[in-house]
Structure 1
Amino acid sequence: MEEIPRQAIVADIGGTNARFACVDLENPILNEMALSKIAVYPCSNFKDLETAVRFYQREHALLVVKHVAIAVASLVAGDVVTMTNLSWQFSISELKHRLGLLDLHVLNDFVAQAMSLPFLSEHEKIQIGSGRVDARHNRVILGPGTGLGVAYLVPTEQGMTPIASEGGHIEWAPYTDQEWFIKQFLVKQYHHVSHERLLSGPGLENLYVALATFRGQNVDFLSAVEITDRALSQSCPLAVATVQQFLACLGSIAADCAFTLNTLGGVYLTGGIVPKLLPLIEGSEFRARFEMKGRHSSFKEQSIATFVLAVLWPGLIGAAGYIKQKIKGIAYDFA
């Protein structure tokens, strides 16, 4: 009988940062306290994923750990994985061989974040607006960052089943006159205007320029960080309007995602942008747009709850839960 390992390395590789940690597989509680040797590196520091993993192993004396789960910001549909917003490509089987691993799991980054949901405490989930959660039903997690990730979590008899999604690349449908202008403005640049063209760091920058054009203003380029900072400080009306438009669009796609699998278990927002915008969300159109579903009035009556995650490492926690379930055969409950 193969001995069950005591430790595993987990990683969450986004378009900008590579996050690593070591997880204690014998710890019955799975949360941030179960993670150790957490490290965050700019992806630009490494030529490829193998180099990044080796660097982490050496820096933290973890060369003996042979079980690894890696969440990546990419579609994972075969052996070869091409990162969506990063110039890395790798073969899962070759990476496992070159690193000398016994066990390597590669999953979509938002599949990992979906896996984190049952392990989060109540204070790590900040509710936006009204609504309730039925833990027996599906959940969806989405989050703007370098791109726009979406994934689902479905309860089954075998425990948690995460479902990957590329919902961020669905065509964006405008609702207001201002949004129709934004759509036409972005069509000239991208032809296909997905939700990710608005709901991401680069998307915020797109919105800022499009709104400036809509208002007839000449503006200098602002980064997503500068836009959010000026909106939070109320020092730039255009930045405030940009963030308000961003949150309205986020409410719309959150509702579409909730519709897709009837996520009565809740809608959860994460990523590098939304948690920073918490002071502005309550006064935005986010929840109104989430409930604005025309003839489907029962959607509002069901009152699906929406949350912002206030947790540092959801991808690492989810990757840890995933590999622990695979190695130890533990079927975690939803309740």
Structure 2
Amino acid sequence: MKILAGDIGGTKTTLAVVETDGQTVEQLVAHTYPSQQHTSLQEIVRLFLDTYSFDFMACSFGLAGPIHDGIGTLTNLPWKIDPVQMAEDLGIPGIWLLNDLEANAWGIQTLGEQDLCVLNPGKENAQGNRSIISAGTGLGEAGLFWDGERHQPFASEGGHSNFSPTSDIEIALLQYLQQRHQPVSWERIVSGAGLSNIHEFLCHYHNQESPPWLHEAMQQGDPAAVISRAAIEKTCLLCTEALALFVRLYGVEAGNHALKIMATGGVYIGGGIAPKILEQLQQGSFLRAFFAKDGMESLMHDMPVTVILNEDTALYGAALYAVSRMKNP
């Protein structure tokens, strides 16, 4: 069956018509829109429908934010989405909403070996709950409950829980950010904006200024991308230190989330940032931070840890969610 699926984020919105049998997904047509250049999701969907003519049986959108009482709210955009009203206004079949990390969790089953990179193989034939954590525009977290037969995805807003420092420099980072944000969530640290926050803090901490070329590049483009590129190319020591601290803290929070939901079946690192810094994630500091849990190191070592490389995972997951809802309304 054909489904109109969407991955709706603070930076970009991707819509696609896909063909799915409830297990596999084939993308027929897709288009990505800069989210902040539009006033609503409805405006984007209308543009898509005006461009591409496909009949579809249902719509399903994964949103970077919570769904409450059937209404979706974008964390980093002033959008509120009423699926019933939106479907009526656009004259399309009913719309289902789910959190974008929940959509990622649904989409994991569509992935092949080429879509994944294993950081820690973990225990052979590991079973149990799974976790997924994704740093991008924000920090998303979700889980998959193992019911004994299959994994059941569920949403969370754990990325907004309070940041917990464990070293002197992390305490200094917290105190620096507390001057601007109360409270300081993990999303302020482990996200695109978080990498920029860490870099800015380190400039203050070391009483150094960014070189003019870096400052200019950050003004002209995505600051986090500029910082990570300078770190990877080793053209700025402060950027290298910023990315190293970011990677370590990403590992800390990935481990926190995995431990809280007993993700013995595996941990997935999603989002747009991880594939771009894959080499840094493979160098060891991420896993050392992930494993370092008081008295639980052995348990953490047994958890498989895998990076998701396919950026369409949430899109495919939204489609599978629609099929599930149609079968079990």
Matched residue of 1:102: which SS?
A: coil
5+ residue gaps in structure 1?
1-5, 330-335
In the alignment, what sits opposite 1:333? none
Per the TM alignment, residue 81 of structure 1 is displaced from its structure 2 partner at its CA by 2.2
Per the TM alignment, residue 122 of structure 1 is displaced from its structure 2 partner at its CA by 2.1
In the alignment, what sits opposite 2:116? 125
Asked whether the 8 Å contact 1:139–1:266 carries over to 2, the reply is yes
Aligned residue identity for 2:37: N
Per the TM alignment, residue 284 of structure 1 is displaced from its structure 2 partner at its CA by 4.4
Matched residue of 1:53: which SS?
A: helix
In the alignment, what sits opposite 1:93? 84
Distance 1:144 1:224, change over 3 A: same
In the alignment, what sits opposite 2:33? 41
Asked whether the 8 Å contact 1:76–1:108 carries over to 2, the reply is yes
In the alignment, what sits opposite 1:176? 167
Instruction: Identify the match of residue 30 of structure 1 among 3, 21, 24.
Output: 24
TM-score by length of 2: 0.92
**In structure 2, how many angstroms separate the alpha carbons of the residues matched to 1:159 and 1:104?**
25
Per the TM alignment, residue 253 of structure 1 is displaced from its structure 2 partner at its CA by 0.6
Per the TM alignment, residue 41 of structure 1 is displaced from its structure 2 partner at its CA by 0.9
Matched residue of 1:115: which SS?
A: helix
Asked whether the 8 Å contact 1:293–1:299 carries over to 2, the reply is no
In the alignment, what sits opposite 2:236? 236
Asked whether the 8 Å contact 1:199–1:249 carries over to 2, the reply is yes
| CA deviation vs aligned residue, 1:256-301 (integer Å, no higher than 9, x gap) | 111111111111111111110011122241100111012224424x
Does 1:18 pair with 2:13?
yes
**In structure 1, how many angstroms separate the alpha carbons of the residues matched to 2:297 and 2:65?**
35
1:25-174 → structure 2 map (5 Å cutoff): 25=20, 27=21, 30-31=24-25, 34-62=26-54, 64-132=55-123, 134=125, 136-156=127-147, 159-174=150-165
RMSD: 1.9
Per the TM alignment, residue 303 of structure 1 is displaced from its structure 2 partner at its CA by 1.7
Distance 1:47 1:99, change over 3 A: same
Aligned residue identity for 2:116: K
Per the TM alignment, residue 232 of structure 1 is displaced from its structure 2 partner at its CA by 1.2
Asked whether the 8 Å contact 2:8–2:100 carries over to 1, the reply is yes
In the alignment, what sits opposite 1:186? 177
Matched residue of 2:67: which SS?
A: coil
Asked whether the 8 Å contact 1:129–1:282 carries over to 2, the reply is no
| CA deviation vs aligned residue, 1:146-192 (integer Å, no higher than 9, x gap) | 10000111233684421111110111111111111111111111121
Per the TM alignment, residue 48 of structure 1 is displaced from its structure 2 partner at its CA by 0.8
In the alignment, what sits opposite 1:8? 3
Does 1:318 pair with 2:317?
yes
Matched residue of 2:7: which SS?
A: strand
Distance 1:131 1:159, change over 3 A: closer
In the alignment, what sits opposite 1:286? 286
Per the TM alignment, residue 107 of structure 1 is displaced from its structure 2 partner at its CA by 0.4
Does 1:214 pair with 2:205?
yes
**In structure 2, how many angstroms separate the alpha carbons of the residues matched to 1:135 and 1:75?**
30
Asked whether the 8 Å contact 2:247–2:286 carries over to 1, the reply is yes
1:195-274 → structure 2 map (5 Å cutoff): 195-219=186-210, 221=215, 222=218, 223-274=223-274
Asked whether the 8 Å contact 2:199–2:238 carries over to 1, the reply is yes
Does 1:295 pair with 2:289?
no
- Fraction of identical pairs, as percent: 29
Once the two structures are overlaid, the 10-residue window that deviates more, 204-213 or 36-45, is 36-45
**In structure 2, how many angstroms separate the alpha carbons of the residues matched to 1:30 and 1:135?**
23
Per the TM alignment, residue 102 of structure 1 is displaced from its structure 2 partner at its CA by 3.0
Asked whether the 8 Å contact 1:66–1:100 carries over to 2, the reply is no
Per the TM alignment, residue 130 of structure 1 is displaced from its structure 2 partner at its CA by 4.5
Aligned residue-pair number: 320
Matched residue of 1:126: which SS?
A: strand
| CA deviation vs aligned residue, 1:57-102 (integer Å, no higher than 9, x gap) | 121113x435100111110121332211012112222112212233
